[in-house]
Amino acid sequence: MSEKLFVSAQEVAERAGVSRSAVSRTFTPGASVSTETRRKVLEAAEALGYHVNELARGLMRNESGIVCLIVSDVATPYRSALLRELTLLLQNAGKVAMLINTDRSDGSVDRALRQAIRYRADASIMLSGMPDKSIAQLCLRSGQRLVLINRDDEQPGPLRINLDDDEAAGRVVTAFVRAGCRKLAFANSEAGTPSLMARERGFVAAANALGIKVSVERHGWTGYEAGKVLAQRMLTRTERPDAVFCATDLLACGFMDAARHQFSMSVPDQLCIAGFDDIEQASWSSYDLTTFAQPVSAIASKAVEWLSQPQPQPQNDDTICAQSIRLHAELVWRGSIRGG
């Protein structure tokens, strides 16, 4: 807006009595400047309140330092925890996070990626949604790196970080059975994201392998309220489950509250419950929920580490060095399953 308000390297150079390139070099790590010129420049810069213009620098270097975080439901405990970790590590790596909110509307994710391209982000990290194949390819062709966290393995993108959801789900079955439960249930949302579905499949498969049938119910969008509704549905049946695995902690909290306060059931005596994510609330005394911990900091550091590496390889247009990382979700034992 309006008249030249920010101080430019030119002005600093004039005041310090050096060339503008001397100023540039002073602020470029690893450039050769004599201590004397450096001192003069820094002094002038300080006095004038000069700060490098990253817009111009990014234009020249073809590297903006910006990393886009594409995410929906930022206010959700698990998402915000991951966000915290990512922004922290990005900052330490000398990058800066641009936050783009998506919703469930059509094209929301694509718009986010286009935004990332317009700002010439060095990379985009997707925590939610699935990008259209063509737009993702455009990102990659443009030299933008793409990281997909807990997204589909089918999705395009050079780095994919996933958990062992299905295998984890199997471990819950073991825990439930060991606690003497035989009437298992799985409470899911209708979101249908790959990780959610993998948990469901893994749970059902492991139970079936033991000759146990699982009643599955899906409702809403992975929130507390949906968990309550699911409980209302499953606990009003003639044959109540004696153990339920909820696809996320938020569902589990809602389920547990409904079971206790609306159906006067005691957890874990009459009903064992397990969740997934290990959000902060899972450890609160009122819930004391047995759950799987998302290795949030491991996820974040894998992602940022990968982004900080120079540039993997020459890039042949199509499958650009796709890489997949599978992390382990640790079971956190608490009081919502009998006989820990």
User: CA 340 to CA 336: how far, in whole Å?
Assistant: 9
Q: Which of a copy of itself, DNA, none is residue 213 near (CB under 5 to 8 Å by kind)?
A: none
User: CA 7 to CA 16: how far, in whole Å?
Assistant: 14
Q: Which of DNA, a copy of itself, none is residue 237 near (CB under 5 to 8 Å by kind)?
A: none
User: CA 272 to CA 241: how far, in whole Å?
Assistant: 9
Binding to DNA by residue 142, rule CB under 7 A? no
Helix (H, G, I), strand (E, B) or coil at 100: strand
User: CA 296 to CA 336: how far, in whole Å?
Assistant: 23
Smallest gap, in angstroms, from Cβ of residue 336 to DNA?
55
Q: Which of a copy of itself, DNA, none is residue 155 near (CB under 5 to 8 Å by kind)?
A: none
Q: Closest CB to a copy of itself among 174 and 286? A: 286
Count of residues interacting with DNA (CB under 7 A): 30
User: CA 262 to CA 231: how far, in whole Å?
Assistant: 9
Binding to a copy of itself by residue 264, rule CB under 8 A? no
Q: Closest CB to a copy of itself among 280 and 318? A: 280
Helices (H), 237-329: 249-261, 296-308
Task: Choose the binding region for DNA from 18-26, 68-76, 153-161, 299-307 (rule: CB under 7 A).
Answer: 18-26
User: Judged by CB under 8 A, which of 178, 261, 326, 328 binds a copy of itself?
Assistant: 261
Beta strand extents in the chain (DSSP E only): 66-71, 96-101, 123-126, 145-149, 159-163, 184-188, 214-218, 243-246, 272-277, 290-293, 323-327, 330-332
Binding to DNA by residue 34, rule CB under 7 A? yes
User: Judged by CB under 8 A, which of 14, 28, 42, 52 binds a copy of itself?
Assistant: 52
Q: Closest CB to a copy of itself among 143 and 295? A: 143
Torsion sign across C-alpha atoms 221, 227, 230, 234: positive
Smallest gap, in angstroms, from Cβ of residue 229 to a copy of itself?
13
Return the number of other C-beta atoms located less than 10 Å from residue 190's C-beta: 11
Return the number of other C-beta atoms located less than 10 Å from residue 97's C-beta: 18
Q: Which of a copy of itself, DNA, none is residue 36 near (CB under 5 to 8 Å by kind)?
A: DNA
| Segment 61 to 120, residues that bind DNA, using CB under 7 A | 61-62
User: Judged by CB under 7 A, which of 25, 111, 233, 240 binds DNA?
Assistant: 25
Whether 259 contacts 231, CB under 8 Å: yes
Whether 119 contacts 68, CB under 8 Å: yes
Task: Choose the binding region for DNA from 59-67, 170-178, 246-254, 294-302 (rule: CB under 7 A).
Answer: 59-67
The two beta strands, 243-246 and 66-71, are: unpaired
Whether 241 contacts 215, CB under 8 Å: yes
Smallest gap, in angstroms, from Cβ of residue 18 to DNA?
4
Q: Which of a copy of itself, DNA, none is residue 215 near (CB under 5 to 8 Å by kind)?
A: none
Whether 210 contacts 240, CB under 8 Å: no
User: CA 115 to CA 68: how far, in whole Å?
Assistant: 9
Task: Choose the binding region for DNA from 8-16, 128-136, 146-154, 332-340 (rule: CB under 7 A).
Answer: 8-16
Binding to a copy of itself by residue 59, rule CB under 8 A? yes
> Which residues in this chain contact a copy of itself in the complex, by CB under 8 A?
1-2, 4-7, 49, 51-56, 58-59, 61-64, 66, 69, 73-77, 79-81, 83-84, 87-88, 91, 96-101, 114-115, 117-120, 122, 138, 141-143, 224, 253-254, 257-258, 260-261, 280-281, 284-287, 311
> Which residues in this chain contact DNA in the complex, by CB under 7 A?
4, 6, 8-10, 18-25, 27-28, 32-34, 36-37, 50-53, 56-57, 59-62
